[in-house]
Amino acid sequence: MAEVNTVARPYTKAAFEFAADKGSLDQWSVMLNLAAAAVQDETVARVLGTPSLTDAQKAEVMVDLCGEKADEAGINFLKLLADNKRLSVLPEVASQFDKLKASREQSLDIEVTTAFALADEQEQKLTQALSKKLGCEVSLIAQVDKSILGGVVVRTDDLVIDGSVRARLAKLAEAMNS
């Protein structure tokens, strides 16, 4: 997995810097995510894996799939990836691009798992508290998992706060057994 990250990084950096300079981060994000989804589609992957297709033909397939979402620069980017036989890293490029975009916009998507559905008021309070603690705008993605018994588990890229009853019971059991 590290190899894909490493290969994707320079493409992501170039695309991000270009899009930021042109003020088209949102457009590029949409285009990259669309292209990434296309590459992951089974039928498209089979077509792109056809040895009889040239790199230019593979690029044309991707350009056709992206349609109006890809401007001239986006088309050139897809052609560059195809010429370098790097279309397969598009999902990682899109992921890295979105992380850079979120960082620049100082926003963060946070997954919150609870044992029971949160009321709107609870979600708002949690969003405000996390925004204040993390110093950025927070977008909450709420999930329900009854196996945590109670409490809350907060996850983002590099942060996990496990305040679930299940985790507390596991710590208690560990302390009692040692």
Cα distances from 162 to residues 152, 155, 167, in angstroms, run 7, 8, 7
Query: For position 30, which CATH number holds?
Result: 1.10.520.20
Q: Same domain for 112 and 83?
A: no
Instruction: List pLDDT tens digits, range 24-77.
Output: 999 999 999 999 999 999 999 999 999 999 999 999 999 998 888 889 999 999
From the CB of residue 100, how many other CB atoms can be counted at a distance below 10 Å?
19
Which domain, by its residues, includes 46? Answer: 2-103
* Amino acid code (one letter) for 24: S
State if pTM tops 0.85. no
Q: Same domain for 88 and 15?
A: yes
User: For the chain, what is the domain count?
Assistant: 2
Paired residues of 111 in beta bridges: 141, 155
Backbone φ/ψ region at 107: left (φ over 0), alpha (ψ -120 to 50), beta: beta
Q: Same domain for 99 and 150?
A: no
Q: Same domain for 20 and 84?
A: yes
